[in-house]
Amino acid sequence: MAFAERHLPTDHPALPDEKIGVLLLNLGTPDATDYWSIRRYLKEFLSDGRVIELNPLKWQIILNLFILPTRPFKTGHAYEQIWLKESDESPLRLYTRNQAEKLGTMLAAKHPNIVVDWGMRYGNPSTESRIRALQEQGCARVLLVALYPQYSASTTATAYDKAFEALMKIRWQPAIRTAPAYHDHPAYIDALAASIESHLKSLDWTPDLLITSYHGLPERYFRNGDPYHCHCFKTTRLVREKLGWAGDRMMVAFQSRFGKEEWLKPYLQDTVEELPSKGVKNLAIICPGFSADCVETLEEINIGIRETFEEAGGEKFTYIPCLNDTEDGTKVIEALVESELAGWV
């Protein structure tokens, strides 16, 4: 019996054993592909001041009058094409849940007092509900792990903001740690390089070029100090060095531009349209900035960009999947978690 329990009054509720929570956080995804589910998700996402850094009053007018009435049709169509019929959810949700379950199994042998869970910045399961669930299971310490390899205020920071917002409502808070971005973590670089090598080995052709495509950001955010752009370039350089490739076999591009403002360049769409006329007929794309495949990789790249390339005269195209819930992918998260738990375990 623990010291505290021996000294409890007899009518005191039982105290749970102290545990450590590891909470994996990802972006979030709609609950379904119908108009209102998509609209609810987009409204929450695009009302986040870390994502849209504009005057909030002006932006809410634009969002509610011009974007939310129409965008859910386009976005809903994109989600419909990749929706998992069997489990009735998006791939991002499935992979994030699997990553948490597999990480839990990996850690259990060494650390029986660790509980792993997962939550989303937008939509369900909410970050707040999972922090409360971890506390209910006796977690007095919680490590928050935003599953974005490259830091951006629009992803990493807002994931942690949401967790701290939830903690503001909790009287007896757990001790909290936040994991840093892992764009140059050796386990991540090695896993990406291994995944590229094994994917290319499975083909009966060799790509002329491999594009590492990252989600874009307004260029203004970079000028205002967001390190995302540098993190993306560093990841690509380290992977290229690990593979021992020459500089011209691999390049960086940015996808998923939203709105009219200038975003980080080169734009993936423009790049892919021009490649065949420059002699690149066989193309591979990988998206290292996504810890799990999602609408931005499966629909935008593997369907949309594939078509763009073929229509521009490209001959062979392959998409290399994200690390997802593969053993290597889960080991990347395990390595990050193990180093960030130092002193707690």
The three-state secondary structure class of 85 is: coil
Q: Considering the complex, state which of residue 256 and residue 318 has its C-beta at the smaller distance from Fe ion.
A: 256
Q: Considering the complex, state which of residue 155 and residue 324 has its C-beta at the smaller distance from Fe ion.
A: 155
Q: Considering the complex, state which of residue 21 and residue 95 has its C-beta at the smaller distance from Fe ion.
A: 95
Can residue 256 be called a binding residue for Fe ion (CB under 5 A)?
yes
Identify each DSSP E strand in the chain by its residue range: 19-28, 114-122, 139-146, 175-178, 209-215, 250-255, 282-286, 316-320
Q: Taking CB within 5 to 8 Å according to partner kind, which of ligand L6N33NVT, Fe ion, none is near residue 217?
A: ligand L6N33NVT
By CB under 5 A, name the one of 117, 208, 300, 334 that touches Fe ion: 300
CB of 217 to ligand L6N33NVT, least distance (A): 5
- Contacts to ligand L6N33NVT by CB under 6 A: 27, 29, 51, 71, 75, 90, 92, 148, 152, 154-155, 215, 217-218, 256, 258, 289-290, 294-296
Beta strand 250-255 with 209-215: parallel, antiparallel or unpaired?
Answer: parallel
Taking the alpha carbons at both ends of the chain, their separation in whole angstroms is: 21
User: Is-contact 271 253, C-beta < 8 A?
Assistant: yes
Q: By C-alpha distance, which of 130, 131, 139 is closest to 344?
A: 139
Q: Taking CB within 5 to 8 Å according to partner kind, which of Fe ion, ligand L6N33NVT, none is near residue 258?
A: ligand L6N33NVT
Q: Taking CB within 5 to 8 Å according to partner kind, which of Fe ion, ligand L6N33NVT, none is near residue 254?
A: none
Q: Considering the complex, state which of residue 231 and residue 331 has its C-beta at the smaller distance from Fe ion.
A: 231
DSSP letter for each residue of 144-171: EEE--SS--IIIIIHHHHHHHHHHTT-S
Which H/E stretch holds residue 99?
helix 91-108
Q: Taking CB within 5 to 8 Å according to partner kind, which of Fe ion, ligand L6N33NVT, none is near residue 92?
A: ligand L6N33NVT
Piece of 204-212, 271-279, 288-296, 334-342 that binds Fe ion (CB under 5 A): 288-296
CB of 185 to ligand L6N33NVT, least distance (A): 16
User: Is-contact 139 45, C-beta < 8 A?
Assistant: no
Give the span between the Cα atoms of 328 and 160, in whole angstroms.
25
CB of 51 to Fe ion, least distance (A): 8
Give the span between the Cα atoms of 56 and 58, in whole angstroms.
6
296 is in an annotated binding site: yes
Q: Considering the complex, state which of residue 224 and residue 339 has its C-beta at the smaller distance from ligand L6N33NVT.
A: 224
Dihedral sign computed on CA atoms, order 287, 290, 292, 293: negative
Strand order in the sheet with 250-255: 250-255, 209-215, 282-286, 316-320
Q: Taking CB within 5 to 8 Å according to partner kind, which of ligand L6N33NVT, Fe ion, none is near residue 302?
A: none
89 is in an annotated binding site: no
Can residue 293 be called a binding residue for Fe ion (CB under 5 A)?
no
CB of 215 to ligand L6N33NVT, least distance (A): 4
Give the span between the Cα atoms of 253 and 262, in whole angstroms.
14
- The residue with tokens 């053993």 is 327
Give the span between the Cα atoms of 130 and 69, in whole angstroms.
31
Closest residue to Fe ion: CB criterion: 256
Q: Could you tell me which residues are annotated as the binding site for Fe(2+)?
A: 215, 296
Q: Could you tell me which residues are annotated as the binding site?
A: 215, 296
Residues that bind Fe ion (CB under 5 A): 256, 296, 300
